[in-house]
Amino acid sequence: MVCGEANTGVYTRGKPTLICRNTMERQSRNSDNWRWLCWCESGLSLGQSRHERCGPPGKIGAHCWIYLARSLTTYFHPGINLKKIHYYSIKLYEKLEEETGQAVGFHQPGSIRIATTPVRVDEFKYQMTRTGWHATEQYIIEPEKIQEMFPLLNMNKILAGLYNPGDGHIDPYSLTMALAAGARKYGALLKYPALVTSLKPRSDGTWDVETPQGSVRANRIVNAAGFWAREVGKMIGLEHPLIPVQHQYVVTSSIPEVKALKRELPVLRDLEGSFYLRQERDGLLFGPYESQEKMKVQDTWVTNGVPPGFGKELFESDLDRIMEHIEIAMEMVPVLKKADIINVVNGPITYSPDILPMVGPHQGVRNYWVAVGFGYGIIHAGGVGKYLSDWILHGEPPFDLIELDPNRYGKWTTTQYTEAKARESYGFNNIVGYPKEERFAGRPTQRVSGLYKTLESKCSMGFHAGWEQPHWFYKPGQDTGYRPSFRRTNWFEPVGSEYKQVMQRVGVIDLSPFGKFNIKGQDSIRLLDHLFANVIPKVGFTNISHMLTPKGRVYAELTVSHQSPGEFLLVTGSGSELHDLRWIEEEAVRGRYDVEIKNVTDEFGVLGVAGPHARKVLQKLTSEDLSDDAFKFLQTKSLKFSNIPVTAIRISYTGELGWELYHRREDSAALYDVIMNAGQEEGIDNFGTYAMNALRLEKAFRAWGSEMNCDTNPLEAGLEYFVKLNKPADFIGKEALKQIRAKGLTRRLVCLTLATDDVDPEGNESVWWNGKVVGNTTSGSYSYSIQKSLAFAYVPIELSQVGQQVEVELLGRNYPATIIQEPLVLTEQTRNQLQKNGGKDKM
Rounded CA Rg of the chain? 28
Q: What is the pLDDT of residue 330?
A: 96
Collapsing DSSP to helix, strand or coil, 495 comes out as: helix
How many Cα neighbours within 13 Å face the side chain of 297? 25
Give the containing element (helix H, strand E) for 751.
strand 747-754
The DSSP secondary structure of 778-822, one letter per residue, reads EEEEEETTTTEEEEEEEEEGGG-STT-EEEEEETTEEEEEEEEPS
Q: Residue 241: which of 468, 519, 29, 445 has the closest Cα?
A: 445
Give the containing element (helix H, strand E) for 221.
strand 221-223
Cβ proximity of 131 and 181 under 8 Å: no
Collapsing DSSP to helix, strand or coil, 402 comes out as: helix
Q: What is the pLDDT of residue 376?
A: 87
How many Cα neighbours within 13 Å face the side chain of 141? 21
- The Cβ of residue 495 has, within 10 Å, a number of other Cβ atoms equal to 24
Distance CA 211, CA 193 (A): 10
- Find the length of the chain: 843
Cα separations (Å) of 804 from 172, 513, 637, 777? 50, 39, 44, 15
Q: What is the pLDDT of residue 839?
A: 60
Dihedral class, residue 105 (left if φ above 0, else alpha if ψ from -120 to 50, else beta): left
Strand partners of residue 464: 467
Q: Environment class of residue 726 by beta-carbon count within 10 Å: exposed (0-12), middle (13-18) or buried (19+)?
A: exposed
Q: What is the pLDDT of residue 14?
A: 31
The DSSP secondary structure of 705-728, one letter per residue, reads TTTBSTT--TTTTT-GGG--TTSS
Cα separations (Å) of 516 from 242, 414, 446? 27, 22, 18
Distance CA 5, CA 33 (A): 7
Residue 270 CA from chain centroid, whole number: 26
Residue-wise pLDDT tens digits, 99-158 = 999 999 999 999 999 999 999 999 999 999 999 999 999 999 999 999 999 999 999 999
Distance CA 266, CA 104 (A): 19
SS3 letters across 593-606: CCCEEEECCCCEEE
Q: What is the pLDDT of residue 840?
A: 56
Distance CA 1, CA 194 (A): 11
Q: What is the pLDDT of residue 309?
A: 80
Using the CB atoms, write b or e for 42-71: b if 16+ within 10 Å.
bbbbbbbbbbbbbeeeeeeeebbbbbbbbb
Q: What is the pLDDT of residue 592?
A: 97
Range list of H helices, 157-200: 172-185
Q: What is the pLDDT of residue 303?
A: 86
Collapsing DSSP to helix, strand or coil, 50 comes out as: helix
Q: What is the pLDDT of residue 311?
A: 74
Distance CA 17, CA 2 (A): 9
Cβ proximity of 157 and 116 under 8 Å: yes
Cα separations (Å) of 841 from 404, 785, 835, 836? 51, 20, 8, 11
Q: What strands lie across the sheet with 9-11, from one edge to the other? A: 9-11, 18-20, 189-191
Distance CA 748, CA 786 (A): 24
Residue-wise pLDDT tens digits, 369-417 = 999 999 988 999 999 999 999 999 999 999 999 999 999 999 999 999 9
- Mark the ranges of the chain whose per-residue pLDDT is less than 70: 1-70, 312, 839-843
Residue 299 CA from chain centroid, whole number: 26
Cα separations (Å) of 196 from 47, 179, 235, 237, 733? 21, 23, 10, 15, 38
Q: Residue 547: which of 537, 538, 536, 558 has the closest Cα?
A: 558
Q: What is the pLDDT of residue 189?
A: 78
Distance CA 546, CA 556 (A): 6
